[in-house]
Structure 1
Amino acid sequence: MCTTATLVLTATVLVAPAAHADRATPAAPGDPVELIYTRGWVDGFSVVRADGAGTAPFTPNGIDAVDAVSKDGKRLAGRSSGVNDRRIRTVDVDGTKPTNIVIPGDLSGGDPVFSPDGSKLYLDGDVPDDHGNQSRLLVAPADRDATAQPLLPAQAVSCDRFLSTSTGRYAFTRTAPIGTRCDGASSVMLYTPETGVVEPAVELNDAGVEVPVGGFFPSISPDGTRLVYMRMLAGDERAELRVLDLATKRSKALYEGSDMWAARWSPDGRYLAFGVFNTSKRLDLVTGQVNSLGDGQTVPIWANRTVTPSVGVRVYGSNAITTGVATSRFKFDAASSASGARKANVAVLTRSDAFYDGLAGAGLAGAKGGPMLLTPKEGLAPAVSAELARILSPGATVYVLGDEGVVSAAVDTQIRALGLTPKRLAGNTVAETGVAIANELTSAPKEVFVATAAEYYDALAAGAAAGSTPDATVVFSWGNTLPAATANYLNGLDRSKTKVTAVGGPAVVALNSASIRIDATADGRTAPDTAKLLAEHAFAHPKAAALATMATWQDALTGGALIAGKGPLLLATQTTLPQGSANYLTAEAASLDRVVVVGGSDVLDDTVAAQAASLTGPQGFHDFVDSPNGDVKVSIG
């Protein structure tokens, strides 16, 4: 419970879209946001600025705990955590024009707040007057040195704190005195500067009768129509966050918890941000969803520095085959209207119940510019047939991976019936199929990724990397053994022009056993670690990454083709984001702004998806888009 100023946390103000200044326009996923925030807890603070290049602490001319930002984002107000000299400092965001506001008493815990036009600074303090040392609301000019003056006339006992502003109407907390202390019940008051009227905010109770609003930490929405506040729950150490419609006087509970701190509005009025002990939360008032804004005593404050939030998007169908179709629908437009990167040139097809011949398919699909699709051995799944007809122009090539014992001849017939051209890439072994695919891509590769085909993990990550690397191929070992087809392929290359990258421990052993030089290695303790090392090797500052389950291979195969050309494929379990995957997302957060989760929540939990997306956003700020059947499009670079 945090009902007084004893907890040393700065104000929580939500980052918000700069591109949607109109409060009535909801933010689009990935719209630019503006972010300056304070990070710290009791024993010290740092002010951090985030932009497109990442985050970095900075010192805004003596302020190391930002408490407020003017509405235009040009001016900051705050204090130094190491100085208790009854002063609030204001400064432009570039560190110029510093001023000091002196409090004629002791500075209390209420955060300063700028007037809507930025000319004044409101705050509260324990100010001595004829009635003793009282908690008073104060006001001072925001652009020059001054001593703060009382905002309201003196009262016998004054217990006013936590003022917020909107479009000219202010809200604050008035606490009933007990003796000379402000320890009684708290009420929400409204103040209109033009008239000087101070009145209680009122709401309708369950009987429809107007009653004063009991609560604290009030904040009026940017358009002045709603008020959010906190209220303690009877007989409990918990509080609830409530919102009041000032016109209808109806209120409702939004969130319940312990150790909550003041809620603030995003400038577009859609979101609320509030502290919960040493974390910050974001509540979407449209969907009701609550996301984390970051841990580690981080308090975001919106300002005029533009950043781009991470966008997590889940692409999925009802099963593995339709998830593959969903990845195609998500990435490619219909042939009749497609252009540029959204036009599919080919499609790659493999069977849906065995991974071997399809392992290099993601690399082929990525390099050739098409989706990776799955189908039963006996014939085309109806959804796949419809997708081929949708995205491919007449005569386009559909690569079929594996011989007719892997994918039946009936599939070729069905492809021709669609006006398309089937092309088989196959061999007597998985290794031979891999070499056939490699030769289809290029006769002079610049890089060859080698991974075992006895398991699917390493090869799937290698396929996504190959699809994003110009003139790259994937070929296979079989566990620790290098098949003759692969050895012959590698020995036939001009090694002065081609480097060989071993992906995973089995490939390392197989290549060494065959006396084939290894130029680079991605070999982790676990499959997610190997995928992470390969991502570090193959991608410099990627804009996107895909996340797929490691429990099965289908989603990672089609997801690898989806992300090819954009970024790496990372692995997770249904309920856990492995440390290697998490570390990669964190390390590349400055460039990553899309995390594509392939598969439904039955294969990767929502918590895993949200965690992955939050790691790439500034202090966890992210949007999440649900794309069932691939129908909701979000740019992935």
Structure 2
Amino acid sequence: MRLFTRRRAAALATAAALAAVGTLAAAPGAAADDAGPWPGAEGRILTDGPVLVDPVTGAKSQVPNTGSGSYGAWAPDGSRFVTAYGQDLTSIRPSGGSKLTLPTAEGVRSSAVYEDLTFWWGGRYVVFSTGGQLAYGPSDGSWAPRPLLTSAQEPASVCDNDPTVSPSGLVAFGRRINFGCYDNAGVYVFDPTAKTVKRVLTNAEQPAFSPDGTKLAFVRKDTDGRLQVFTANADGTGVQQVTTSPGYAVNPSWSPTGKRIVFDAHTTGDSADVQSTQYVDVATGERTAVPGTPQGSNPSWQPLRKNNTGRIWGSDSYTTTIAGSRWTWNKVGQHVPGLMDAKAAVLTNRDSTAYALTAPALAGKKHGPVLPTPKTGLSAAVKAELKRVLKPGANVYLVGNTSILSSSVTSQVKALGFTPKRLTGADRFATSVAVAKTITTAPKYVFLASGTDAYASLPAAAAAGADGTSSAGGLVLTNGKKLSASVKSYLNGLNPNKTMVITVGSDAKYALTHTTFSRWPSSYSYYPITGGTKESLAVNLAKFWWSAPSNVALAYSGSWRDGLSAAAAMNVFGPVLWTSRPALSKEVTSYLLRESASTNTAIAFGGTGSVTAGALSSAGASIAANGGQVAYTAYYNGDEPASTRTSSRALRADDGAAATAARPGPVGADPHLEPLRTVQHQ
């Protein structure tokens, strides 16, 4: 996974923007594609209703809390599915819990019903058709779906439907041209990286990618004029017929193993038709009827695939941060798949909360670890880590004046062959301004959080560090419910109509709204994030800043040092979530269930005295189809156990996906931010 893939891009406004941002950022050890290199098994079959069917026994059950729905599709790990009814898209757990209704699509040509659903980019997005046009939106409903293709790629004269996706992000779909969308059927493929649409099959419809993306199943009339299931290579070559008469076969969908194709079987296709759910062995052509049929239409086979949990810790809270660095950053000259090449490092006083709070934001921008060290000098562990991850001459940023990190620290950094750069001000608040200005002098956004509340500031710092672009922003600190002169001056120099101002916590909101800015307009917009608890505040920030993340970090809400480790190691991968102990906080559980379609990795920072084993297990069960579909890895001192190294490194490899999770953007650019936009009058 290349370093630039970690840098979070702005919110995706179009499919073209989606293609431009590069590959998907996945945390070390995480799997992130649709078929997944991780093990999978065949679960239940979902049909219209929605109804879940056991393919062996035929036992079926109506999913509770759904009403009715059709065109169901499973998330890549089987943790959720989505169905359509009219213009309602509903995402829900197989148990009927954690129901989520996605917003109505915006900017599409038609107000027709939604149909033909599929998940995209490891569960981050849902693609569907409406009135012959393809649309996509985040699986967690964080913004409204929008057209997938440009008007040039999808002119009004075509009708597109039945989208299906490959692990590499290709979207195949059926297209009909002219003739009232009834003739000239063919299968086309949209490549979001090349930004091209290409026909790969003629006289074909209802395509379905195999789990590994190498094959397409589709429907075509045989020599008797009956619709049957065929397969072909992904480029349209090697066509083979896999079902034969009697009757018709439509709506094919692959099993998670890629060995079978499930479909709707019809005896005649007329008023005397009898329908059943069947599957065919791709290798032998043997057909099997699911017991208890007929069921509903549009069968989709649940993929039971494992998600990941892990724990990163050291012998104490200081070495946990070193462990986080070892887990994230390559050794100089080595390139372990999934690890990153550091370009800089950030040093903080390991015993000073106040001067550590903005460090993760700076580290995210400068592409390197946060390393806490004693005030009087570099610890042996920090010296070793600097030499491990940095090339000679690399910048090492010192946050705070010499009373925070002494001149001996500067001398020792120089002696190691690196370039020290001290960032400081008259106090912690002025220092936060110095850090923010080092990140960028033209911020797209700026976070504001209390310098006396690490549990508001550290998740905010992680969010600020998630976007490392040149127009990114930073975090500046309030003095509780007041703004210091330095922070007020810094904010006064910004234009709130061009720079998104995000307050995290009630103190920061109060400080901003009870300050008069001489250079600001009489009314301005800002984005307040609040919560009644540490846990709910972090969750609400995650909902605002990350759209369908693939990774989350967990830290104990009683240990700011573990939170610093989490924010430093995970800020570019996903949100930092506080949890109480011994059990996983209910706010976090609810959030993980909501995001389970896309989230495949939950990493705890600190030992079991911080995030307990039970809490981490609950997190795994919340993001997976069930508690049995979770793989745990222990990273003591950040090192991967030899017993899991081969399989885990395979999962760390560059997966070739092309979407990012963070969604910062200028005020007014992203309609999904509007619900939190607040107008303040001076």
TM bucket by the smaller chain?
0.5 to 0.7
Q: What residue number does 1:482 align with? A: 483
**Aligned-pair distance for 1:143?**
5.0
CA offsets 1:175-224 (integer angstroms, 9 cap, x no match):
xxxxxxxxxxxxxxxxxxxxxxxxxxxxxxxxxxxxxxxxxxxxxxxxxx
Within 5 A, what are the aligned runs for 1:1-12? none
Q: What residue number does 1:292 align with? A: none
For residues 98 and 118 of structure 1, what CA distance do their matches in structure 2 show?
Answer: 21
**Aligned-pair distance for 1:508?**
0.5
For residues 616 and 474 of structure 1, what CA distance do their matches in structure 2 show?
Answer: 30
For residues 144 and 427 of structure 1, what CA distance do their matches in structure 2 show?
Answer: 71
For residues 552 and 370 of structure 1, what CA distance do their matches in structure 2 show?
Answer: 22
Q: What residue number does 1:635 align with? A: 652
For residues 497 and 488 of structure 2, what CA distance do their matches in structure 1 show?
Answer: 17
Q: Secondary structure at the match of 1:443?
A: coil
CA offsets 1:451-489 (integer angstroms, 9 cap, x no match):
001111010010000001341110011111111111100
| Contact 2:584–2:614 under 8 Å retained in 1 | no
| Contact 1:36–1:50 under 8 Å retained in 2 | no
Q: Secondary structure at the match of 2:602?
A: strand
Q: What residue number does 1:575 align with? A: 582
Q: Secondary structure at the match of 1:312?
A: strand
For residues 83 and 500 of structure 2, what CA distance do their matches in structure 1 show?
Answer: 40
Q: Secondary structure at the match of 1:547?
A: strand
Q: What residue number does 2:417 align with? A: 419
Cα 1:318–1:98 shift into 2, 3 Å: farther
For residues 365 and 459 of structure 1, what CA distance do their matches in structure 2 show?
Answer: 15
For residues 145 and 564 of structure 1, what CA distance do their matches in structure 2 show?
Answer: 49
Q: What residue number does 2:492 align with? A: 491
> Which of 47-56 and 356-365 deviates more?
47-56
Q: Does 1:500 align with 2:491?
A: no
Q: What residue number does 1:366 align with? A: 364
Q: CA RMSD, aligned part only?
A: 3.9
> Which of 416-425 and 456-465 deviates more?
416-425
| Contact 2:330–2:339 under 8 Å retained in 1 | no
CA offsets 1:556-591 (integer angstroms, 9 cap, x no match):
112112112211111112313222222221211111
Cα 1:115–1:565 shift into 2, 3 Å: closer
Q: Does 1:391 align with 2:559?
A: no
User: Under a length normalisation based on structure 1, what TM-score does the superposition of the two structures give?
Assistant: 0.57
For residues 583 and 543 of structure 2, what CA distance do their matches in structure 1 show?
Answer: 21
For residues 392 and 145 of structure 1, what CA distance do their matches in structure 2 show?
Answer: 61
Q: Does 1:448 align with 2:616?
A: no
Cα 1:33–1:323 shift into 2, 3 Å: farther
Q: Secondary structure at the match of 1:373?
A: strand
Q: Secondary structure at the match of 1:519?
A: strand
**Aligned-pair distance for 1:390?**
0.4
For residues 357 and 98 of structure 1, what CA distance do their matches in structure 2 show?
Answer: 69
Q: Secondary structure at the match of 1:468?
A: coil
Among 50, 61, 81, the residue aligned to 1:55: 81
Q: What residue number does 2:541 align with? A: 534
Q: What residue number does 2:571 align with? A: 564
| Contact 1:51–1:307 under 8 Å retained in 2 | no
**Aligned-pair distance for 1:624?**
1.3
Among 380, 383, 396, the residue aligned to 1:382: 380
| Contact 1:313–1:624 under 8 Å retained in 2 | yes
How many residues in Structure 1 have an aligned counterpart in Structure 2? 402
Q: Secondary structure at the match of 1:438?
A: helix
Within 5 A, what are the aligned runs for 1:135-174? 142=288
For residues 433 and 331 of structure 2, what CA distance do their matches in structure 1 show?
Answer: 32
Amino acid paired to 1:457: Y
| Contact 1:119–1:142 under 8 Å retained in 2 | no
Within 5 A, what are the aligned runs for 1:503-518? 503-515=504-516, 517-518=524-525
**Aligned-pair distance for 1:319?**
0.8
Within 5 A, what are the aligned runs for 1:572-611? 572-611=579-618
Within 5 A, what are the aligned runs for 1:434-445? 434-445=432-443
| Contact 2:534–2:578 under 8 Å retained in 1 | yes
**Aligned-pair distance for 1:119?**
9.6
For residues 484 and 459 of structure 2, what CA distance do their matches in structure 1 show?
Answer: 21
Within 5 A, what are the aligned runs for 1:205-604? 306=303, 308-338=305-335, 342-469=340-467, 470=469, 471-515=472-516, 517-604=524-611
| Contact 1:359–1:557 under 8 Å retained in 2 | yes
For residues 382 and 303 of structure 2, what CA distance do their matches in structure 1 show?
Answer: 42
Amino acid paired to 1:318: S
Between Structure 1 and Structure 2, which shows a larger proportion of strand residues?
A: 1
**Aligned-pair distance for 1:408?**
1.7
Q: What residue number does 1:182 align with? A: none
| Contact 1:566–1:636 under 8 Å retained in 2 | no
RCO higher in 1 or 2 (8 Å CA, sep ≥ 6)? 2
Q: What residue number does 1:166 align with? A: none
| Contact 2:445–2:474 under 8 Å retained in 1 | yes
**Aligned-pair distance for 1:426?**
1.2
Cα 1:98–1:333 shift into 2, 3 Å: same
**Aligned-pair distance for 1:496?**
2.7
For residues 601 and 145 of structure 1, what CA distance do their matches in structure 2 show?
Answer: 47
**Aligned-pair distance for 1:522?**
0.7
Cα 1:502–1:115 shift into 2, 3 Å: closer
Cα 1:308–1:395 shift into 2, 3 Å: farther
**Aligned-pair distance for 1:118?**
9.4
| Contact 1:35–1:49 under 8 Å retained in 2 | no
Within 5 A, what are the aligned runs for 1:176-195? none
Cα 1:565–1:116 shift into 2, 3 Å: closer
Q: What residue number does 1:129 align with? A: none
Cα 1:494–1:31 shift into 2, 3 Å: farther
Q: What residue number does 1:265 align with? A: none
Among 620, 631, 654, the residue aligned to 1:623: 631
For residues 363 and 636 of structure 1, what CA distance do their matches in structure 2 show?
Answer: 26
User: Under a length normalisation based on structure 2, what TM-score does the superposition of the two structures give?
Assistant: 0.53
**Aligned-pair distance for 1:145?**
10
For residues 611 and 356 of structure 2, what CA distance do their matches in structure 1 show?
Answer: 23
Once the two structures are aligned, what percentage of the paired residues are identical? Answer: 30
**Aligned-pair distance for 1:495?**
2.5
For residues 400 and 31 of structure 1, what CA distance do their matches in structure 2 show?
Answer: 44
| Contact 2:577–2:588 under 8 Å retained in 1 | yes
**Aligned-pair distance for 1:318?**
0.9
| Contact 1:119–1:143 under 8 Å retained in 2 | no
Cα 1:602–1:116 shift into 2, 3 Å: farther
Q: Secondary structure at the match of 1:357?
A: coil
**Aligned-pair distance for 1:33?**
5.2
| Contact 2:45–2:301 under 8 Å retained in 1 | no
**Aligned-pair distance for 1:509?**
0.5
Cα 1:36–1:51 shift into 2, 3 Å: farther
Cα 1:535–1:145 shift into 2, 3 Å: closer
Stretches of structure 1 that go unaligned for 5 or more consecutive residues are 1-16, 22-26, 60-64, 66-71, 75-90, 100-112, 121-140, 147-302
**Aligned-pair distance for 1:389?**
0.4
Cα 1:119–1:381 shift into 2, 3 Å: same
Q: Secondary structure at the match of 2:547?
A: coil
Q: Secondary structure at the match of 1:344?
A: coil
For residues 582 and 407 of structure 2, what CA distance do their matches in structure 1 show?
Answer: 40
